Every structure is written in C-alpha cells, then in structure tokens.
Amino acid sequence: MDALLSRLFSSEEQELLTLDRMAHILFFMAACTFLTLLFENVPYGRYASSRYGFPVDARFAWFVQELPAFLVPLCLVLWTSSAKTSLLPNQLLIAMYFCHYVQRSLIYPFLIRGGKATPVISFALAFVFCVFNGYMQIRYLSHYAEYPAHWVTHPCFITGAVLWLVGYLVNVHSDHILRNLRKPGETGYKIPTGGMFEYVSGANFLGEITEWAGFALACHSVQSAAFAIFTAVVLSSRAVAHHKWYLAKFEDYPKSRKALIPFLF
Ligand SMILES: NC(=O)c1ccc[n+]([C@@H]2O[C@H](COP(=O)([O-])OP(=O)(O)OC[C@H]3O[C@@H](n4cnc5c(N)ncnc54)[C@H](OP(=O)(O)O)[C@@H]3O)[C@@H](O)[C@H]2O)c1
C-alpha cells in the first residue's frame, strides 16, 4: 500500500496538499449539493426515481456503497507506514470513525426491513463518496494530523467527543425505531414515535449531523469540517423533505414535532 501511495505522490508534502485540496473539493460539492437540493430531494428511499437509473436492492446497495468507508481506512491503518497511529488523540479519533462505519457498513445493511431499492446513480455516487472520504479522513488522521500535548483533555476534544457519542447513540437508536415500525415483509410507512422522534421527524439525521459535527470539533481539521458540512447539507435536506412528506401523508401527524432541531426548526 505504501508503494501505491508513493507512486501517486512524489512526497509527503504533496500528499498533504492533496488531502487539503480534497477537503476544499468537498466544501465545493457541499455548496453545489445545497443548491441542487433546493429543487430536488436526495433520490433514494421514498424519493427513489427511475430518472436516476435502474433499481439496486437496498441491502446490497447499502452494504456495497458503504463498504469502502470501512475497507479503505482499514487498509491504510494496517498496510501503510501510518506514522501517527501510536498517538492517543489520533487513536481515539480513528476509533470514533471506525465505530460508526463498522455499524454502518457491516451491520446496518443487514438489518434493513423492506427498504426501497436505490437508483444506480445514487448508489454509485455514495460508493465514490465513501472511497473519497474514507481515504481523506483516515489518511490524514493516521499519517499527518498532529495534536498538541494533552489534546485529549482540551475542552474542544472533550466537547467534540461527547457530541460524537450522543450523536452516534441518537442515530443508532433512531434507525432502530424506524426499522421496528415494519413487521418482516412490510414496506409501508408509519408515524415514528419514541426517542428523539418525539421532537423531530429527522431524528436519525439529527444524530448523524451531531456525530460528525462533534468529530470535526475533536479533530480540528479541514478534512473533518468538510465531511461534517457535507453531511449536514445532505441530511438536513432529507429531514425537511421527510417532515413535509409526513405532514402531507398523515392527518394525525404530531403538530408540535419539528423537522430537525427540537422546538426550533
Ligand atoms: N453521512 C451522510 O452523509 C449520510 C447520508 C445518507 C444517509 N446517512 C445515514 O444513513 C442512515 C439511513 O439514511 P436514510 O436516508 O435511508 O434514512 P431514512 O430515509 O430515514 O430511512 C431509513 C430506513 O427506515 C425506513 N423508514 C424510514 N421512515 C420510515 C417510516 N416512517 N416507516 C417505516 N419505515 C421507515 C426506510 O425505508 P424506505 O427505504 O422504504 O424509505 C429505510 O429502510 C441514517 O442513519 C442516515 O443518518 C448518512
């Protein structure tokens, strides 16, 4: 793997510059995505459309598209001279990333109940994103990120880690609630209740946005900030779309429930 990286980059300075440029590209993509999502819903799940290509089975799509977000970082950590993996802040941040993607790529897809097929273009874009972001986050953390002494006791790290953990738990718990709305074989939609769904329609999205915002605060890097902002753009659009969709579909939908931010929005 080191041989592959040294073919791609003539020096460490060049690779670090590339990692920074990748983050800037992701900021740009977040801005483009934000503008696009003013006119269009993210095209999968209940908004899947044949305009985005033939349907791919939901479990297969989620497993294959998310797998690079786990495998690329795993290869980087195991098979490159990852100079910073012996340092505690880097270890903890890499562990947070893996904790999420072990669940998302190896567990979540096999728990899906009656999920709508994913259009092939959405599937392909998600796959490319997972390769891109998996490399960008973990190569930076495992080989380049340098933190001051005692960073793990710095208020930024502690606040970020707590936000990451709360967000992770809200995300996993909310996805669990959604999954259990359907009995095996069912594919329809019901009103979610319990947990953060008592406050917002996009409880799973609120969890994931909080998670990566906390991660970015703890990482203090342009790479993690770009990921957090991209996630917030995609998932806040999805939360707003779901909220409108529920209000239109269910007459008895709780009127006090907000889209994404409890009591506010
Ligand atoms: N980091 C990122 O950029 C990013 C991007 C996308 C997703 N994600 C994460 O991936 C996970 C899944 O995202 P998603 O967009 O697929 O979430 P979603 O639209 O809420 O759907 C999640 C699952 O629950 C089902 N479901 C949703 N609402 C339901 C209801 N009212 N009644 C019965 N079943 C319902 C869906 O079935 P259908 O397929 O039939 O709708 C799907 O299988 C979330 O945790 C999200 O945070 C992260």
Largest CA distance in the chain: 62
Contact (Cβ atoms closer than 8 angstroms) between residue 148 and residue 205: no
Expressed in angstroms and rounded, the spacing between residue 45 Cα and the centre of ligand 1 is 7
pLDDT tens profile 9-38: 999 999 999 999 999 999 999 999 999 999
For residue 186, is it within any domain?
Answer: yes
| Residue 256 is assigned to a structural domain of this protein | no
Q: Count of domains in the chain?
A: 1
Residue nearest to atom 6 of ligand 1 (CA): 235
Q: Let me know if residue 254 belongs to a domain.
A: no
pLDDT for the residue 47: 98
Give the number of residues written for the chain.
265
Give the residue numbers spanning the domain of 189. 2-249
Has residue 265 been placed in a domain?
no
Query: Is residue 196 one of the residues assigned to a domain?
Result: yes
CB atoms within 10 A of CB 19: 21
Tell me if 43 is assigned to some domain.
yes
Ligand 1 atom 19: residue of nearest CA: 45
152-211 per-position pLDDT tens digit: 999 999 999 999 999 999 999 999 999 999 999 999 999 999 999 999 999 999 999 999
Q: What are the tens digits of pLDDT across the range 94-111? A: 999 999 999 999 999 999
Q: Are 45 and 166 in contact (CB under 8 A)?
A: no
Indicate whether 258 belongs to any domain: no
Q: Could you tell me if residue 255 is inside a domain?
A: no
178 lines ligand 1 (CB under 6 A): yes
- Give me the amino acid identity at 106: L
Mutate to test the pocket of ligand 1, among 104, 204, 234, 244 (most ligand atoms within 8 A of CB): 204
3-state secondary structure 157-183: HHHHHHHHHHHHHHHHHHHHHHHCCCC
